[in-house]
């Protein structure tokens, strides 16, 4: 009988603590739905007490999930635990995850509490959480730099108080695999079957995944991880790596099973990078753009003769279709397009499908081959439900004799066309200036990224911008997709502008400021 390793995903909480990994409520709900589809056992949906935005996101996520357990983080204090309980109220399965630091350095300098006071707070918090929900997890923050004797004492006490999962974080990513193995073994021998032992590794020394695996070998039965390894500083253990190691090296881990549908890994990774604007590095294991690319002639030759000569994982296993090269063409009809959308995991209403289909047809006129990744981008644009107050109509960019760039742009608002032009120091500068002149709102460009969605000269350009519209308020993300990079730039900037307009009230309210500090 195989043992289940529970997958606890914290992309929406620890992952969102990554600099720039902003997600609004609608995006968080979308990601949570995808994480449930992926088969995640526990979704840490946020930290309810940290901001009204986090609270609201957890509440919305709790309403829509039916299989995964929804969890909120809470410091070891009543007000946090109450917020966690209230936010998860509507969930079918829910958990409160409370924590307090246990290392000498954290207790002395951060908490300014004695070890006895820390134990008391932990016990009181778990007892209180237990009056509100059945499923309570307790974490010893900075456990891996804590005294093992003290860990045993506090863990015993919280088990008595009702904690059913005990999490051991390597908060600062300091430990090496053999050290994690020893710690988890000792704690597992001590705890036995009184509670489930969990591991939560950070990647400061690049060892988060290796450390998590050592923990499994030594008794941990829950892994805390994030999609694409997103997270504080160097990030957390990458879910996709852990799951694919367990699957690929089944010869070593054949006693264990996870509930993850690996075919959803690629879509989930793409969704996280689309929402946050943070792409995994190209050579990132499992989900990097080059993870399955074979460049050298010898490798290509081997692959053609027998894939397994150079491939230990089939891309099919993570949801990349091998026959995804040419999928649909100029003559494909609406029904085939709709079928393809469903097979790529998009659930869209008729209106959204029609919009996407029109964009697909327009793309067919300018691009020879349409790939699955092109379709994912087109369909992905329809999933964002931000009202399109402004939309790009026409754009023309030219270089003047002075060496300056000039953009002439027309934009549609409420069916009316508005046009203007501006000079700038480069193409992007003059495009943004023209849009600012039309909208009457000046944005400050904080980040600009452009990449080709697929290969080839006619590849779609995807532009992601981060724009600050109110001084000292967090920047908003906009995405733009077009064969033409300048049009994609204008669309991305207009996207961020539309996002700003839909959140303007929130941004200027006091609550909104707090929310946006987290977003």
Shortest separation between residue 236's beta carbon and ligand KIV, angstroms = 8
Are 483 and 460 in contact, with CB atoms under 8 Å apart? yes
Per-residue binding letters, 179-198, with ligand KIV (x by CB under 6 A):
--------------------
Is 140 or 406 the residue whose CB approaches ligand KIV more closely?
140
Which residue's CB atom is positioned nearest to Zn ion?
A: 14
- Residues 213, 11, 54, 133, CA torsion sign: negative
Query: Is 175 an interacting residue with respect to ligand KIV (CB under 6 A)?
Result: no
d(CA 181, CA 186): 9
Is 229 or 319 the residue whose CB approaches ligand KIV more closely?
229
Shortest separation between residue 434's beta carbon and ligand KIV, angstroms = 44
The kind and range of the H/E element at 67 are none
Burial-class residue 404 by CB neighbours within 10 Å (0-12, 13-18, 19+): middle
**Strand 416-424's sheet: what is its strand order?**
390-399, 405-413, 416-424
Shortest separation between residue 22's beta carbon and ligand KIV, angstroms = 18
Stretch that binds ligand KIV, among 86-94, 163-171, 272-280, 332-340 (CB under 6 A): 163-171
CB count in 10 Å sphere of residue 416: 7
Shortest separation between residue 181's beta carbon and ligand KIV, angstroms = 19
Question: Binding ligand KIV by CB under 6 A: which of 59, 121, 130, 200?
Answer: 200
DSSP state of 257: E
d(CA 482, CA 117): 59
Beta-sheet pairing, 444-452 with 461-468: antiparallel
Residue 103 interacting partner from ligand KIV, Zn ion, none (CB closer than 5 to 8 Å by kind): none
In the three-class reduction of DSSP (H, G, I as helix; E, B as strand; rest coil), residue 93 is classed as: coil
Shortest separation between residue 198's beta carbon and Zn ion, angstroms = 12
d(CA 299, CA 237): 30
Shortest separation between residue 191's beta carbon and Zn ion, angstroms = 21
Shortest separation between residue 54's beta carbon and ligand KIV, angstroms = 14
Shortest separation between residue 170's beta carbon and ligand KIV, angstroms = 8
Query: Is 171 an interacting residue with respect to ligand KIV (CB under 6 A)?
Result: yes
Question: Binding ligand KIV by CB under 6 A: which of 6, 8, 14, 69?
Answer: 14
Is 183 or 384 the residue whose CB approaches Zn ion more closely?
183
Stretch that binds ligand KIV, among 164-172, 330-338, 366-374, 380-388 (CB under 6 A): 164-172
Query: Is 80 an interacting residue with respect to ligand KIV (CB under 6 A)?
Result: no
User: Which residues in the 119-158 window bind ligand KIV by CB under 6 A?
Assistant: 139, 141
Shortest separation between residue 205's beta carbon and Zn ion, angstroms = 15
Are 430 and 438 in contact, with CB atoms under 8 Å apart? no
By C-alpha distance, which of 67, 65, 71, 66 is closest to 88? 71
Are 407 and 395 in contact, with CB atoms under 8 Å apart? yes
d(CA 164, CA 162): 6
By C-alpha distance, which of 399, 387, 449 is closest to 424? 399
Are 140 and 157 in contact, with CB atoms under 8 Å apart? no
Q: How many positions of this chain bind ligand KIV (CB under 6 A)?
A: 9
Residue 183 interacting partner from Zn ion, ligand KIV, none (CB closer than 5 to 8 Å by kind): none
Question: Binding ligand KIV by CB under 6 A: which of 8, 55, 93, 99?
Answer: 99
Please list the residues that pair with 408 across neighbouring strands: 396, 421
Residue 139 interacting partner from Zn ion, ligand KIV, none (CB closer than 5 to 8 Å by kind): ligand KIV
Question: Binding ligand KIV by CB under 6 A: which of 15, 46, 53, 169?
Answer: 169
Question: Binding Zn ion by CB under 5 A: which of 5, 11, 14, 166?
Answer: 14
Burial-class residue 494 by CB neighbours within 10 Å (0-12, 13-18, 19+): buried
Is 28 or 340 the residue whose CB approaches ligand KIV more closely?
28
Which residues lie closer than 8 Å to 227 by C-beta, 6 or more apart? 9, 11, 15, 35, 238, 239, 240, 268, 269, 272
The kind and range of the H/E element at 256 are strand 256-257
Shortest separation between residue 141's beta carbon and Zn ion, angstroms = 8
Is 2 or 233 the residue whose CB approaches ligand KIV more closely?
233
Are 226 and 239 in contact, with CB atoms under 8 Å apart? yes
Per-residue b/e over 304-318, b at no fewer than 16 CB within 10 Å?
Answer: eeeeeeeeebebeeb
Task: Point out which residues bind ligand KIV (CB under 6 A).
Answer: 14, 99, 139, 141, 167, 169, 171, 200, 202
Task: Point out which residues bind Zn ion (CB under 5 A).
Answer: 14
């Amino acid at each position: 009988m195989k043992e289940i390793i529970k997958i606890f995903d914290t992309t929406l909480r620890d992952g969102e603590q990554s600099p720039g990994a902003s997600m609004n409520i609608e995006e968080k709900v979308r990601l949570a739905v995808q994480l449930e589809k992926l088969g995640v056992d526990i979704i840490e949906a946020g930290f309810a007490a940290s901001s009204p935005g986090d609270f609201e996101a957890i509440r919305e996520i709790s309403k829509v999930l039916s299989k995964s357990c929804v969890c909120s983080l809470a410091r070891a204090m009543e007000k946090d635990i109450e917020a966690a309980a209230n936010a998860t109220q509507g969930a079918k399965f829910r958990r409160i995850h409370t924590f307090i630091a246990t290392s000498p350095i954290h207790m002395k300098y951060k908490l300014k509490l004695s070890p006895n006071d820390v134990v008391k707070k932990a016990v009181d918090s778990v007892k209180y959480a237990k009056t509100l929900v059945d499923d309570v997890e307790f974490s010893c923050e900075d456990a891996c730099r804590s005294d093992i004797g003290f860990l045993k004492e506090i863990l015993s006490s919280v088990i008595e108080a009702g904690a059913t999962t005990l999490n051991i974080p390597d908060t600062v990513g300091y430990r090496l695999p053999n050290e994690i193995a020893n710690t988890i073994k000792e704690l597992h021998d001590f705890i036995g079957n009184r509670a489930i032992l969990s591991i939560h590794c950070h990647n400061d020394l690049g060892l988060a995944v290796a450390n998590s695996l050592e923990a499994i070998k030594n008794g941990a039965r829950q892994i805390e991880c994030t999609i694409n390894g997103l997270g504080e500083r160097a990030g957390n253990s990458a879910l996709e790596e852990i799951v694919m190691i367990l699957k690929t090296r089944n010869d070593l881990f054949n006693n264990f099973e996870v509930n993850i549908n690996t075919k959803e890994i690629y879509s989930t990774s793409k969704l996280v990078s689309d929402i946050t604007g943070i792409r995994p590095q190209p050579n990132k294991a499992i989900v990097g753009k080059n993870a399955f690319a074979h460049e050298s002639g010898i490798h290509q030759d081997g692959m053609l003769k027998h894939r397994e000569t150079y491939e230990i994982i089939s891309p099919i296993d993570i949801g990349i279709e091998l026959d995804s090269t040419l999928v649909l063409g100029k003559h494909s009809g609406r029904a085939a397009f709709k079928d393809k959308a469903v097979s790529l995991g998009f659930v869209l209403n008729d209106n959204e499908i029609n919009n996407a289909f029109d964009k697909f047809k327009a793309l067919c006129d300018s691009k020879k081959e349409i790939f699955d990744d092109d379709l994912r981008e087109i369909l992905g644009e329809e999933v964002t439900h931000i009202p399109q107050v402004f939309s790009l109509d026409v754009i023309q960019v030219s270089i003047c004799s002075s060496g300056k760039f000039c953009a002439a742009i027309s934009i549609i608002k409420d069916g009316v066309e508005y046009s203007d032009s501006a000079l700038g120091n480069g193409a992007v500068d003059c495009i943004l200036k023209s849009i600012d002149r039309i909208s009457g709102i000046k944005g400050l460009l904080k980040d600009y990224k452009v990449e080709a969605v697929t290969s080839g000269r006619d590849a779609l350009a995807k532009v992601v911008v981060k724009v600050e519209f109110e001084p000292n308020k967090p920047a908003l993300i906009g995405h733009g997709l077009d064969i033409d990079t300048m049009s994609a730039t204008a669309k991305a900037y207009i996207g961020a502008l539309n996002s700003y307009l839909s959140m303007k009230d929130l941004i200027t309210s006091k609550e909104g400021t707090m929310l946006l500090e987290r977003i």
